[in-house]
Amino acid sequence: MAVYCIRHLTHYRYQEPVTVCHNLAHLIPRDSPGHTWTQVELDITPNASRTTRLDCFGNRTTVFTIDEPHLELRVESRGVVDLAPPRISALFPTSPWESVVNLLRGKPDGEWLAAAEFRFRSPHVDWTEEIRGWALQSFPPGRPIAEAALDLAGRVYAQFRFVSGATNVSTQVAEVFERRTGVCQDFAHLAIAALRSLGLSARYVSGYLVTQPPPGGSRLIGADASHAWISLYVPEYGWMDIDPTNHLWPLEGHITVAWGRDFSDVSPLRGVILGGGKHEVTVGVDVLPADAEFNEPSEAP
C-alpha cells in the first residue's frame, strides 16, 4: 500500500482575449477498486460557474463556464490517494477466450450487460481485418483469456516504438498499426481495437503513472505525465487492467482517474471558446510520495 499526492495543471495562454468559454473536465478521480481519495480539489482561474456530475460510465465530470474576458485559463486538480494494489497473477486460471466471447454475445444481464457495451467500435477505436488477424496470433483456440491478453500486450510492447509527438488525439488506430509508432494513448486504442475485433470487451483507462528518479538522482517536479492503459473483462475476475505500453499488470504505480470506450470519453479537459486567436497550452503533472512537498510546477507543452 502506498500514498501519493497528485497535481495536474493545465495552463492556456491566449494571444487575444477570450470572451466566453465552455469546458468539460475529467480531473476529479472516480471511485475505483483499490483507490481511496482524500483532499481532492479542482481550482479554476478565472472564476467559473461549474457543476460536477457522474457521466454514464460513473466518471466524475466537471462542466464549467467563464463568461468574462480573459487571456489565460489555469485549471489545477489536486488530491491524495491511498493505493492498494490488486492481487493478480498471470497464472491464475481463466476461461478460454472463445467462451467469454460467447458469453458476451448471449443475453447478458447485470455485470455482463455492463461489460457488453465495451465490445463495439467507438470514435477512436476501429479495426481492420489485418488488425484482427494480428490479434488472433495471441488468441489460438482454447487459450485462457488472461494469458492471451498479456501476450497481446507484450507484442504491442515489442513491435511498436514509443515516440513522443509522433501522433495526436485524432490519429486513427489503422495509422498507428501501419507506422508502428505512437504513445500510450495510441497503444491503448490499438490493444482495445484488437480485443474488440475478437468480440471481447475492453475499455480505456486514463490516469497517472508513478515514475521513479534515476539511481542517485532526485525526482523532478513536473516530470510525470498522464497515462493510459486498458481494462479487459474476465468473468472470473471482473475487470482486469493491462498496460500495453509497458507490458505489465498495473499494480502500485498506476493511479486511475476515469474510464470509458476510448480517449474521447475521458479527455482531461476539452471545450469551446469565443475569441483567443492563437494560443499555447502547457501541462504539468506531479505524482509524489505523500510526505513530499509541492513546489511551483514545471510545465511542459
Q: Do 214 and 171 touch, CB atoms closer than 8 A?
A: no
Is residue 183 pLDDT above 50, yes or no?
Answer: yes
Q: How many CB atoms lie within 10 A of CB 48?
A: 19
pLDDT at 261: 98
Confidence of residue 290 (pLDDT cuts 50, 70, 90): confident
pLDDT in tens, 104-118: 988 667 777 889 899
User: Is it true that the peptide bond before 46 is cis, omega within 30 degrees of 0?
Assistant: yes
Residue type, 255: I
DSSP states of 119-187: GS-BTTB---HHHHHHHHTT--TT-BHHHHHHHHHHHHHHHSEE-TTS--TT--HHHHHHHTEE-HHHH
> For residue 155, is pLDDT > 90?
yes
What domains can be seen in the chain, in order of their start residue?
A: 2-84+266-289 (2.60.40.2250), 97-263 (3.10.620.30)
Mean pLDDT, range 13-31, rounded to an integer: 96
Tens of pLDDT, residues 54-106: 999 999 999 999 999 999 999 999 999 999 877 665 557 899 999 999 989 88
Mean pLDDT over the full length of the chain: 90
Query: What percent of the chain is predicted at pLDDT more than 90?
Result: 72
186-213 pLDDT, tens digit each? 999 999 999 999 999 999 999 998 876 6
Per-residue model confidence (pLDDT) at position 217: 58
